[in-house]
Structure 1
Protein backbone atom coordinates (compact mmCIF):
# COMPACT_ATOMS: atom_id res chain seq x y z
CA UNK A 1 0.00 0.00 0.00
CA UNK A 2 1.34 3.40 -1.03
CA UNK A 3 0.42 6.51 0.92
CA UNK A 4 0.75 10.17 0.01
CA UNK A 5 1.31 12.33 3.09
CA UNK A 6 1.13 16.11 3.34
CA UNK A 7 1.79 17.74 6.72
CA UNK A 8 1.61 21.52 6.92
CA UNK A 9 2.36 23.54 10.05
CA UNK A 10 1.53 27.24 9.94
CA UNK A 11 2.86 29.78 12.48
CA UNK A 12 1.54 33.33 12.91
CA UNK A 13 3.00 36.05 15.15
CA UNK A 14 1.52 39.27 16.47
CA UNK A 15 4.89 41.02 16.02
CA UNK A 16 7.91 40.46 13.84
CA UNK A 17 10.02 37.47 14.90
CA UNK A 18 13.69 37.05 14.02
CA UNK A 19 16.80 34.95 14.68
CA UNK A 20 14.89 31.73 15.15
CA UNK A 21 16.07 28.12 15.11
CA UNK A 22 13.76 25.17 14.40
CA UNK A 23 14.56 21.55 15.27
CA UNK A 24 12.46 19.38 12.95
CA UNK A 25 11.85 15.63 13.13
CA UNK A 26 9.34 15.05 10.35
CA UNK A 27 11.21 12.64 8.06
CA UNK A 28 10.20 8.95 7.93
CA UNK A 29 12.91 6.30 7.68
CA UNK A 30 13.22 3.00 5.82
CA UNK A 31 12.70 -0.24 7.73
CA UNK A 32 11.19 -3.69 7.14
CA UNK A 33 7.72 -2.18 7.46
CA UNK A 34 8.01 0.85 5.17
CA UNK A 35 9.90 2.20 2.18
CA UNK A 36 10.32 5.92 1.61
CA UNK A 37 9.91 6.58 -2.13
CA UNK A 38 10.12 10.35 -1.81
CA UNK A 39 10.16 12.83 1.04
CA UNK A 40 10.84 16.52 1.36
CA UNK A 41 10.64 19.02 4.21
CA UNK A 42 10.19 22.62 3.08
CA UNK A 43 11.24 25.28 5.58
CA UNK A 44 12.62 28.80 5.00
CA UNK A 45 16.18 29.71 5.93
CA UNK A 46 19.42 27.76 6.20
CA UNK A 47 19.31 24.08 7.12
CA UNK A 48 21.46 21.09 7.97
CA UNK A 49 20.51 17.43 8.35
CA UNK A 50 21.89 15.04 10.97
CA UNK A 51 20.81 12.07 13.06
CA UNK A 52 19.98 12.31 16.74
CA UNK A 53 20.98 9.82 19.44
CA UNK A 54 18.08 7.53 18.45
CA UNK A 55 19.00 7.59 14.74
CA UNK A 56 16.06 9.83 13.86
CA UNK A 57 16.55 12.23 10.94
CA UNK A 58 16.96 15.68 12.47
CA UNK A 59 16.78 18.91 10.47
CA UNK A 60 18.05 22.13 12.03
CA UNK A 61 16.80 25.26 10.28
CA UNK A 62 17.73 28.84 11.13
CA UNK A 63 16.01 32.05 10.06
CA UNK A 64 18.17 35.19 10.27
CA UNK A 65 15.49 37.50 8.92
CA UNK A 66 12.33 39.14 10.26
CA UNK A 67 8.98 37.48 9.61
CA UNK A 68 5.42 37.47 10.93
CA UNK A 69 4.38 34.07 9.59
CA UNK A 70 6.10 30.85 8.63
CA UNK A 71 5.03 27.55 7.11
CA UNK A 72 6.86 24.24 7.45
CA UNK A 73 5.64 21.54 5.07
CA UNK A 74 6.60 17.86 4.95
CA UNK A 75 5.33 15.68 2.12
CA UNK A 76 6.12 12.48 0.31
CA UNK A 77 5.23 8.95 -0.74
CA UNK A 78 5.57 5.98 1.62
CA UNK A 79 4.96 2.32 0.75
CA UNK A 80 3.90 0.02 3.59
CA UNK A 81 4.52 -3.70 3.75
CA UNK A 82 1.31 -5.74 3.27
CA UNK A 83 2.39 -8.28 5.89
CA UNK A 84 1.43 -7.84 9.56
CA UNK A 85 4.56 -8.10 11.61
CA UNK A 86 6.36 -7.14 14.77
CA UNK A 87 9.20 -4.74 14.10
CA UNK A 88 12.44 -6.67 14.53
CA UNK A 89 15.30 -4.88 16.24
CA UNK A 90 17.29 -3.52 13.29
CA UNK A 91 18.22 -0.02 14.46
CA UNK A 92 21.19 -1.16 16.59
CA UNK A 93 19.91 0.77 19.58
CA UNK A 94 20.30 -0.84 22.97
CA UNK A 95 16.69 -1.57 24.02
CA UNK A 96 17.58 -0.92 27.64
CA UNK A 97 18.01 2.76 26.78
CA UNK A 98 14.23 2.77 26.84
CA UNK A 99 14.10 1.86 30.50
CA UNK A 100 15.47 5.29 31.36
CA UNK A 101 13.00 7.37 33.40
CA UNK A 102 11.83 10.71 32.04
CA UNK A 103 9.65 13.27 33.83
CA UNK A 104 6.83 12.57 31.39
CA UNK A 105 6.84 8.77 31.86
CA UNK A 106 6.93 8.31 35.62
CA UNK A 107 4.48 6.14 37.59
CA UNK A 108 2.89 6.81 40.95
CA UNK A 109 1.85 4.03 43.34
CA UNK A 110 -1.67 3.81 41.91
CA UNK A 111 -0.34 3.37 38.37
CA UNK A 112 2.10 0.67 39.47
CA UNK A 113 -0.71 -1.24 41.18
CA UNK A 114 -2.84 -0.85 38.04
CA UNK A 115 -0.05 -2.29 35.85
CA UNK A 116 0.78 -5.24 38.09
CA UNK A 117 -2.89 -6.12 38.48
CA UNK A 118 -3.45 -6.22 34.71
CA UNK A 119 -0.13 -7.94 33.97
CA UNK A 120 0.36 -10.69 36.60
CA UNK A 121 2.57 -12.47 34.06
CA UNK A 122 4.54 -10.64 31.39
CA UNK A 123 3.40 -11.63 27.91
CA UNK A 124 1.98 -9.86 24.88
CA UNK A 125 -1.60 -10.91 25.61
CA UNK A 126 -1.55 -9.35 29.07
CA UNK A 127 0.06 -6.19 27.71
CA UNK A 128 -2.79 -5.91 25.22
CA UNK A 129 -5.21 -6.20 28.16
CA UNK A 130 -3.28 -3.43 29.91
CA UNK A 131 -3.56 -1.25 26.81
CA UNK A 132 -7.32 -1.84 26.67
CA UNK A 133 -7.71 -1.01 30.37
CA UNK A 134 -5.76 2.24 29.93
CA UNK A 135 -8.12 3.34 27.16
CA UNK A 136 -11.10 2.55 29.37
CA UNK A 137 -9.54 4.52 32.23
CA UNK A 138 -8.48 7.43 29.98
CA UNK A 139 -11.12 7.97 27.26
CA UNK A 140 -9.89 9.74 24.14
CA UNK A 141 -10.79 13.39 24.64
CA UNK A 142 -9.02 16.01 22.49
CA UNK A 143 -8.05 19.54 23.53
CA UNK A 144 -7.96 18.73 27.26
CA UNK A 145 -4.23 18.05 27.62
CA UNK A 146 -1.03 19.53 26.21
CA UNK A 147 2.49 18.41 25.36
CA UNK A 148 3.41 19.25 28.97
CA UNK A 149 0.92 16.74 30.42
CA UNK A 150 2.71 13.86 32.15
CA UNK A 151 1.61 10.24 32.41
CA UNK A 152 0.68 10.80 36.06
CA UNK A 153 -1.41 13.88 35.17
CA UNK A 154 -3.28 12.03 32.39
CA UNK A 155 -3.93 8.99 34.58
CA UNK A 156 -5.26 11.11 37.44
CA UNK A 157 -7.38 13.39 35.23
CA UNK A 158 -8.71 10.43 33.20
CA UNK A 159 -8.65 12.18 29.83
CA UNK A 160 -6.20 12.52 26.99
CA UNK A 161 -5.16 11.77 23.42
CA UNK A 162 -2.73 9.40 21.71
CA UNK A 163 0.27 11.16 23.25
CA UNK A 164 -1.13 10.67 26.76
CA UNK A 165 -2.13 7.04 26.13
CA UNK A 166 1.39 6.32 24.91
CA UNK A 167 3.05 8.02 27.88
CA UNK A 168 0.89 6.14 30.39
CA UNK A 169 1.45 2.80 28.67
CA UNK A 170 5.20 3.39 28.45
CA UNK A 171 5.38 4.44 32.11
CA UNK A 172 3.59 1.27 33.21
CA UNK A 173 5.74 -0.97 31.02
CA UNK A 174 8.87 0.56 32.52
CA UNK A 175 7.42 -0.08 35.97
CA UNK A 176 7.07 -3.73 34.91
CA UNK A 177 10.75 -3.78 33.88
CA UNK A 178 10.06 -3.73 30.13
CA UNK A 179 11.85 -1.41 27.67
CA UNK A 180 9.18 0.72 26.02
CA UNK A 181 9.49 3.56 23.56
CA UNK A 182 7.42 6.37 22.06
CA UNK A 183 6.82 6.44 18.30
CA UNK A 184 5.68 9.44 16.30
CA UNK A 185 4.23 9.15 12.83
CA UNK A 186 1.02 8.91 10.88
CA UNK A 187 -1.93 6.53 10.72
CA UNK A 188 -3.88 5.79 7.54
CA UNK A 189 -7.63 5.41 8.00
CA UNK A 190 -9.65 4.68 4.81
CA UNK A 191 -12.15 7.35 3.77
CA UNK A 192 -10.60 9.91 6.10
CA UNK A 193 -8.37 12.55 4.53
CA UNK A 194 -7.60 14.85 7.47
CA UNK A 195 -5.80 13.25 10.42
CA UNK A 196 -3.64 14.64 13.15
CA UNK A 197 -0.14 13.21 13.32
CA UNK A 198 -0.21 10.12 15.47
CA UNK A 199 1.71 8.55 18.35
CA UNK A 200 1.87 5.03 19.75
CA UNK A 201 4.15 2.86 21.86
CA UNK A 202 6.39 -0.14 21.27
CA UNK A 203 7.54 -2.69 23.83
CA UNK A 204 10.64 -4.85 23.59
CA UNK A 205 9.56 -8.40 24.35
CA UNK A 206 11.22 -11.69 23.29
CA UNK A 207 13.88 -9.75 21.34
CA UNK A 208 11.22 -8.01 19.24
CA UNK A 209 9.59 -4.59 19.24
CA UNK A 210 5.79 -4.93 19.36
CA UNK A 211 3.31 -2.21 18.44
CA UNK A 212 0.78 -1.00 21.03
CA UNK A 213 -1.51 1.71 19.66
CA UNK A 214 -3.67 2.24 22.74
CA UNK A 215 -5.85 5.01 21.27
CA UNK A 216 -7.03 2.77 18.42
CA UNK A 217 -6.47 -0.66 20.01
CA UNK A 218 -4.20 -1.69 17.13
CA UNK A 219 -1.37 -4.10 17.86
CA UNK A 220 0.14 -4.56 14.42
CA UNK A 221 1.43 -1.54 12.47
CA UNK A 222 -0.09 -2.30 9.05
CA UNK A 223 -1.40 1.28 8.62
CA UNK A 224 1.23 3.15 10.66
CA UNK A 225 4.02 5.28 9.19
CA UNK A 226 7.09 5.57 11.43
CA UNK A 227 8.80 8.97 11.67
CA UNK A 228 10.81 8.95 14.91
CA UNK A 229 11.34 6.94 18.09
CA UNK A 230 12.40 8.07 21.56
CA UNK A 231 11.76 7.77 25.27
CA UNK A 232 8.79 10.16 25.18
CA UNK A 233 7.24 12.98 23.17
CA UNK A 234 10.12 15.38 23.86
CA UNK A 235 12.62 13.08 22.11
CA UNK A 236 10.54 13.01 18.91
CA UNK A 237 8.64 16.33 18.86
CA UNK A 238 8.01 17.19 15.18
CA UNK A 239 9.01 20.84 15.63
CA UNK A 240 10.75 22.56 18.51
CA UNK A 241 12.45 25.92 18.40
CA UNK A 242 13.49 29.24 19.87
CA UNK A 243 13.18 32.77 18.54
CA UNK A 244 13.67 36.42 19.33
CA UNK A 245 10.60 38.65 19.66
CA UNK A 246 7.46 37.75 17.74
CA UNK A 247 4.92 38.58 20.43
CA UNK A 248 2.20 35.92 20.75
CA UNK A 249 2.53 32.83 18.59
CA UNK A 250 -0.42 30.91 17.13
CA UNK A 251 -0.10 27.63 15.27
CA UNK A 252 -2.32 25.29 13.32
CA UNK A 253 -1.53 22.22 11.29
CA UNK A 254 -3.13 20.19 8.52
CA UNK A 255 -2.30 16.54 7.90
CA UNK A 256 -3.47 14.49 4.94
CA UNK A 257 -2.77 10.76 4.65
CA UNK A 258 -4.19 9.39 1.38
CA UNK A 259 -3.89 6.10 -0.50
CA UNK A 260 -2.33 6.53 -3.92
Structure 2
Protein backbone atom coordinates (compact mmCIF):
# COMPACT_ATOMS: atom_id res chain seq x y z
CA UNK A 1 0.00 0.00 0.00
CA UNK A 2 1.31 3.42 -0.99
CA UNK A 3 1.54 5.84 1.92
CA UNK A 4 0.21 9.16 0.77
CA UNK A 5 0.58 12.41 2.67
CA UNK A 6 -2.07 15.04 3.19
CA UNK A 7 -0.59 18.52 3.44
CA UNK A 8 -2.17 21.83 4.32
CA UNK A 9 -0.26 24.76 2.83
CA UNK A 10 -0.77 28.42 3.68
CA UNK A 11 1.20 30.85 1.56
CA UNK A 12 0.95 34.53 2.49
CA UNK A 13 2.63 37.19 0.38
CA UNK A 14 2.14 40.76 -0.73
CA UNK A 15 3.63 44.21 -1.17
CA UNK A 16 4.06 47.30 0.98
CA UNK A 17 4.17 50.71 -0.68
CA UNK A 18 5.78 54.02 0.25
CA UNK A 19 2.39 55.73 0.11
CA UNK A 20 -1.19 55.31 -1.13
CA UNK A 21 -1.67 53.29 -4.31
CA UNK A 22 -4.77 54.22 -6.28
CA UNK A 23 -5.15 50.97 -8.25
CA UNK A 24 -3.38 47.69 -8.93
CA UNK A 25 -3.78 44.81 -11.38
CA UNK A 26 -2.47 41.46 -10.19
CA UNK A 27 -1.99 37.77 -10.95
CA UNK A 28 -1.32 35.10 -8.33
CA UNK A 29 0.02 31.64 -9.21
CA UNK A 30 -0.44 29.99 -5.83
CA UNK A 31 -3.14 27.38 -6.55
CA UNK A 32 -1.79 23.78 -6.62
CA UNK A 33 -2.32 21.57 -9.65
CA UNK A 34 -4.17 18.30 -9.89
CA UNK A 35 -2.02 15.57 -11.39
CA UNK A 36 -1.30 11.86 -11.48
CA UNK A 37 0.59 12.00 -8.17
CA UNK A 38 -1.17 14.95 -6.52
CA UNK A 39 -4.83 15.69 -5.77
CA UNK A 40 -6.08 19.10 -4.66
CA UNK A 41 -8.79 18.52 -2.05
CA UNK A 42 -9.43 22.17 -1.22
CA UNK A 43 -7.99 25.52 -2.27
CA UNK A 44 -8.80 29.20 -1.94
CA UNK A 45 -7.06 32.52 -2.51
CA UNK A 46 -8.00 35.55 -0.38
CA UNK A 47 -7.04 39.14 -1.08
CA UNK A 48 -6.74 42.21 1.11
CA UNK A 49 -7.98 44.88 0.41
CA UNK A 50 -11.00 42.83 -0.68
CA UNK A 51 -11.30 42.34 -4.42
CA UNK A 52 -13.28 40.18 -6.80
CA UNK A 53 -11.10 37.36 -8.14
CA UNK A 54 -11.42 35.11 -11.16
CA UNK A 55 -9.43 32.05 -12.16
CA UNK A 56 -8.13 30.68 -15.43
CA UNK A 57 -5.38 28.38 -16.68
CA UNK A 58 -2.52 30.12 -18.44
CA UNK A 59 -0.68 28.89 -21.54
CA UNK A 60 1.50 26.55 -19.44
CA UNK A 61 -1.43 25.03 -17.54
CA UNK A 62 -0.89 26.92 -14.27
CA UNK A 63 -3.98 28.12 -12.40
CA UNK A 64 -3.97 31.93 -12.21
CA UNK A 65 -6.03 33.95 -9.74
CA UNK A 66 -6.44 37.42 -11.26
CA UNK A 67 -7.79 40.49 -9.46
CA UNK A 68 -7.85 44.29 -9.57
CA UNK A 69 -7.85 46.57 -6.53
CA UNK A 70 -9.25 50.06 -7.15
CA UNK A 71 -9.65 51.16 -3.53
CA UNK A 72 -6.74 53.27 -2.26
CA UNK A 73 -4.28 51.07 -0.35
CA UNK A 74 -0.76 51.16 1.10
CA UNK A 75 -0.26 47.39 1.18
CA UNK A 76 -1.52 44.33 -0.64
CA UNK A 77 -1.81 40.86 0.90
CA UNK A 78 -2.64 37.59 -0.83
CA UNK A 79 -3.19 34.42 1.20
CA UNK A 80 -3.50 31.06 -0.53
CA UNK A 81 -4.65 28.08 1.54
CA UNK A 82 -4.84 24.56 0.13
CA UNK A 83 -5.10 20.94 1.17
CA UNK A 84 -3.32 18.49 -1.09
CA UNK A 85 -2.91 14.71 -1.18
CA UNK A 86 0.57 13.72 -2.39
CA UNK A 87 2.26 10.43 -3.24
CA UNK A 88 5.83 9.18 -2.80
CA UNK A 89 8.06 8.97 -5.88
CA UNK A 90 6.66 6.33 -8.21
CA UNK A 91 7.58 4.53 -11.42
CA UNK A 92 11.15 5.74 -11.22
CA UNK A 93 13.18 5.12 -14.36
CA UNK A 94 16.23 2.89 -14.16
CA UNK A 95 19.51 3.90 -15.77
CA UNK A 96 18.73 1.94 -18.93
CA UNK A 97 15.16 3.25 -19.33
CA UNK A 98 13.94 6.15 -21.42
CA UNK A 99 14.65 7.22 -24.98
CA UNK A 100 18.07 6.71 -26.57
CA UNK A 101 20.12 9.69 -27.68
CA UNK A 102 19.21 9.12 -31.33
CA UNK A 103 15.49 9.67 -30.65
CA UNK A 104 16.00 13.02 -28.91
CA UNK A 105 17.03 14.70 -32.15
CA UNK A 106 14.05 13.46 -34.19
CA UNK A 107 12.15 16.32 -35.89
CA UNK A 108 8.85 15.18 -34.36
CA UNK A 109 10.24 15.34 -30.81
CA UNK A 110 11.97 18.68 -31.37
CA UNK A 111 8.78 20.14 -32.79
CA UNK A 112 6.65 18.79 -29.94
CA UNK A 113 8.83 20.16 -27.13
CA UNK A 114 10.42 23.10 -28.93
CA UNK A 115 9.65 25.63 -26.19
CA UNK A 116 11.32 23.45 -23.55
CA UNK A 117 14.48 23.07 -25.61
CA UNK A 118 15.36 26.75 -26.04
CA UNK A 119 17.47 28.75 -23.57
CA UNK A 120 15.75 31.65 -21.82
CA UNK A 121 16.96 34.79 -20.08
CA UNK A 122 17.49 32.92 -16.80
CA UNK A 123 18.69 29.58 -18.17
CA UNK A 124 21.31 30.58 -20.77
CA UNK A 125 24.85 29.17 -20.49
CA UNK A 126 28.34 30.35 -21.45
CA UNK A 127 31.01 28.46 -23.40
CA UNK A 128 32.77 26.89 -20.36
CA UNK A 129 29.45 25.49 -19.13
CA UNK A 130 28.59 24.21 -22.60
CA UNK A 131 31.89 22.36 -22.60
CA UNK A 132 31.03 20.75 -19.25
CA UNK A 133 27.63 19.73 -20.62
CA UNK A 134 29.25 18.15 -23.67
CA UNK A 135 31.58 16.15 -21.45
CA UNK A 136 28.74 14.91 -19.23
CA UNK A 137 26.75 13.88 -22.28
CA UNK A 138 29.67 11.98 -23.82
CA UNK A 139 30.11 9.98 -20.61
CA UNK A 140 26.42 8.99 -20.35
CA UNK A 141 24.93 6.01 -22.16
CA UNK A 142 21.37 7.36 -22.09
CA UNK A 143 19.70 10.77 -21.78
CA UNK A 144 18.21 9.79 -18.43
CA UNK A 145 21.63 8.91 -17.02
CA UNK A 146 22.95 12.22 -18.36
CA UNK A 147 20.11 14.13 -16.69
CA UNK A 148 20.88 12.57 -13.32
CA UNK A 149 24.56 13.38 -13.84
CA UNK A 150 23.67 17.02 -14.44
CA UNK A 151 21.65 17.14 -11.21
CA UNK A 152 24.50 15.62 -9.24
CA UNK A 153 27.04 17.95 -10.85
CA UNK A 154 25.02 21.10 -10.06
CA UNK A 155 24.36 19.98 -6.49
CA UNK A 156 28.06 19.26 -5.91
CA UNK A 157 29.24 22.57 -7.41
CA UNK A 158 26.62 25.11 -6.29
CA UNK A 159 25.97 25.59 -2.58
CA UNK A 160 22.41 26.23 -1.46
CA UNK A 161 22.51 29.53 0.43
CA UNK A 162 19.32 31.49 1.19
CA UNK A 163 19.66 35.17 0.36
CA UNK A 164 22.62 34.65 -1.96
CA UNK A 165 20.62 35.83 -4.98
CA UNK A 166 17.37 37.59 -5.90
CA UNK A 167 14.44 36.72 -8.15
CA UNK A 168 16.12 38.42 -11.11
CA UNK A 169 19.26 36.26 -10.87
CA UNK A 170 20.10 33.85 -13.67
CA UNK A 171 21.92 30.54 -13.98
CA UNK A 172 25.25 32.13 -14.87
CA UNK A 173 25.22 34.39 -11.80
CA UNK A 174 24.69 31.42 -9.50
CA UNK A 175 27.35 29.43 -11.35
CA UNK A 176 29.95 32.20 -11.16
CA UNK A 177 29.55 32.61 -7.40
CA UNK A 178 28.91 28.87 -6.85
CA UNK A 179 25.97 29.56 -4.56
CA UNK A 180 22.28 30.34 -4.85
CA UNK A 181 18.79 29.27 -3.91
CA UNK A 182 16.57 26.51 -5.30
CA UNK A 183 15.43 28.80 -8.10
CA UNK A 184 19.02 29.32 -9.28
CA UNK A 185 19.93 25.65 -8.96
CA UNK A 186 16.85 24.72 -11.00
CA UNK A 187 17.60 27.33 -13.67
CA UNK A 188 21.15 26.06 -14.04
CA UNK A 189 19.99 22.45 -14.20
CA UNK A 190 17.31 23.23 -16.78
CA UNK A 191 19.80 25.17 -18.91
CA UNK A 192 22.28 22.29 -18.90
CA UNK A 193 19.59 19.71 -19.72
CA UNK A 194 18.39 21.76 -22.68
CA UNK A 195 21.95 22.18 -23.92
CA UNK A 196 22.13 18.37 -24.03
CA UNK A 197 18.98 18.28 -26.15
CA UNK A 198 16.62 17.13 -23.39
CA UNK A 199 13.28 18.91 -23.12
CA UNK A 200 13.28 20.36 -19.60
CA UNK A 201 10.91 22.51 -17.60
CA UNK A 202 11.03 24.54 -14.40
CA UNK A 203 8.57 23.57 -11.66
CA UNK A 204 7.37 25.83 -8.83
CA UNK A 205 5.65 24.72 -5.66
CA UNK A 206 6.22 23.99 -2.00
CA UNK A 207 8.38 21.64 0.03
CA UNK A 208 7.78 20.24 3.49
CA UNK A 209 11.24 20.47 5.08
CA UNK A 210 11.07 17.25 7.14
CA UNK A 211 11.02 13.69 5.72
CA UNK A 212 9.81 12.52 9.17
CA UNK A 213 7.12 15.18 9.57
CA UNK A 214 4.97 14.97 12.69
CA UNK A 215 1.26 14.75 11.92
CA UNK A 216 -0.58 17.88 13.07
CA UNK A 217 2.55 20.00 13.58
CA UNK A 218 2.71 23.26 11.61
CA UNK A 219 6.18 24.18 10.41
CA UNK A 220 7.78 26.94 8.39
CA UNK A 221 7.76 25.60 4.84
CA UNK A 222 9.36 26.82 1.67
CA UNK A 223 8.37 28.09 -1.71
CA UNK A 224 10.44 25.71 -3.77
CA UNK A 225 11.58 24.93 -7.31
CA UNK A 226 12.73 21.78 -9.05
CA UNK A 227 12.98 20.36 -12.58
CA UNK A 228 11.43 17.86 -14.95
CA UNK A 229 12.93 16.37 -18.10
CA UNK A 230 11.39 14.34 -20.92
CA UNK A 231 12.87 11.01 -22.05
CA UNK A 232 9.67 9.40 -23.33
CA UNK A 233 7.78 10.72 -20.32
CA UNK A 234 8.36 13.50 -17.80
CA UNK A 235 10.61 12.70 -14.86
CA UNK A 236 10.68 15.00 -11.81
CA UNK A 237 13.77 15.57 -9.67
CA UNK A 238 14.76 18.03 -6.96
CA UNK A 239 18.41 18.97 -7.67
CA UNK A 240 18.67 21.23 -4.61
CA UNK A 241 18.09 18.29 -2.26
CA UNK A 242 19.27 15.50 -4.55
CA UNK A 243 16.01 13.53 -4.31
CA UNK A 244 13.19 12.39 -6.55
CA UNK A 245 10.05 14.50 -6.19
CA UNK A 246 7.61 12.82 -3.81
CA UNK A 247 5.19 13.24 -0.95
CA UNK A 248 6.92 16.33 0.50
CA UNK A 249 6.56 18.29 -2.76
CA UNK A 250 3.44 20.20 -3.84
CA UNK A 251 3.32 21.29 -7.49
CA UNK A 252 1.87 24.70 -8.32
CA UNK A 253 3.13 25.56 -11.80
CA UNK A 254 5.38 24.56 -14.67
CA UNK A 255 7.06 26.64 -17.33
CA UNK A 256 10.31 27.47 -19.08
CA UNK A 257 11.69 29.38 -16.07
CA UNK A 258 10.67 31.40 -13.00
CA UNK A 259 9.29 34.19 -15.20
CA UNK A 260 6.47 31.88 -16.32
CA UNK A 261 5.36 30.96 -12.78
CA UNK A 262 5.94 33.84 -10.29
CA UNK A 263 3.69 33.48 -7.21
CA UNK A 264 2.53 37.11 -7.43
CA UNK A 265 3.04 39.82 -10.01
CA UNK A 266 1.23 42.93 -11.13
CA UNK A 267 1.28 46.57 -12.06
CA UNK A 268 0.03 49.52 -10.06
CA UNK A 269 -0.32 53.31 -10.02
CA UNK A 270 1.40 54.96 -7.08
CA UNK A 271 4.69 55.29 -5.17
CA UNK A 272 7.45 52.68 -5.14
CA UNK A 273 7.12 49.33 -3.40
CA UNK A 274 9.12 49.14 -0.17
CA UNK A 275 9.31 45.35 -0.10
CA UNK A 276 7.61 42.00 -0.45
CA UNK A 277 6.96 39.61 2.41
CA UNK A 278 6.56 35.85 2.13
CA UNK A 279 5.35 33.35 4.74
CA UNK A 280 4.75 29.66 4.03
CA UNK A 281 3.30 27.35 6.69
CA UNK A 282 2.86 23.63 6.03
CA UNK A 283 1.05 21.11 8.19
CA UNK A 284 1.03 17.38 7.61
CA UNK A 285 -2.54 16.26 8.30
CA UNK A 286 -1.87 12.55 7.77
TM-score for both structures, normalised by structure 1? 0.92
Structure 2 equivalent of residue 15 of structure 1? 19
**SS in structure 1 at match of 2:186:** helix
Q: Please state if 1:31 is matched with 2:56.
A: no
Structure 2 equivalent of residue 90 of structure 1? none
Task: Quote how far apart the aligned CAs of 1:94 are.
Answer: 4.2
Structure 1 equivalent of residue 259 of structure 2? 234
- What 5-or-longer segments of structure 1 have no aligned partner? 88-92
Q: 1:253 aligns with which of 278, 281, 286?
A: 278
Structure 1 equivalent of residue 148 of structure 2? 128
| Contact kept in structure 2, 1:85 and 1:220, CA below 8 Å | no
**SS in structure 2 at match of 1:103:** coil
| Contact kept in structure 2, 1:185 and 1:226, CA below 8 Å | yes
Structure 1 equivalent of residue 209 of structure 2? 189
Deviations 1:200-257 (A, max 9, x none): 010111x111112111001243321110000000001111111111333222111012
- What 5-or-longer segments of structure 2 have no aligned partner? 94-110
The size of the alignment, in residue pairs, is 254
TM-score for both structures, normalised by structure 2? 0.84
Task: Quote how far apart the aligned CAs of 1:145 are.
Answer: 0.7
User: Per the alignment, do residues 119 and 219 of structure 1 end up closer, same or farther by CA in structure 2, a change over 3 Å counting?
Assistant: farther
Greater shift, 240-249 or 195-204, is seen at 240-249
Give distance in 1, aligned partners of 2:88 and 2:18.
Answer: 47
Q: Please state if 1:204 is matched with 2:210.
A: no
Deviations 1:121-170 (A, max 9, x none): 34323322221211221101111211111111211121101000000000
Structure 1 equivalent of residue 98 of structure 2? none
| Contact kept in structure 1, 2:28 and 2:264, CA below 8 Å | yes
Give distance in 1, aligned partners of 2:172 and 2:18.
Answer: 35
| Contact kept in structure 2, 1:84 and 1:222, CA below 8 Å | no
Give distance in 2, aligned partners of 1:193 and 1:33.
Answer: 23
Larger Rg: 2
Q: Please state if 1:57 is matched with 2:66.
A: no
| Contact kept in structure 2, 1:17 and 1:243, CA below 8 Å | yes
Structure 1 equivalent of residue 10 of structure 2? 6
| Contact kept in structure 2, 1:16 and 1:247, CA below 8 Å | no
Give distance in 1, aligned partners of 2:209 and 2:134.
Answer: 33
| Contact kept in structure 2, 1:115 and 1:176, CA below 8 Å | yes
Structure 2 equivalent of residue 72 of structure 1? 78
Q: Please state if 1:161 is matched with 2:181.
A: yes
| Contact kept in structure 2, 1:25 and 1:59, CA below 8 Å | yes
Task: Quote how far apart the aligned CAs of 1:83 are.
Answer: 5.4
| Contact kept in structure 2, 1:119 and 1:130, CA below 8 Å | no
Give distance in 2, aligned partners of 1:147 and 1:156.
Answer: 16
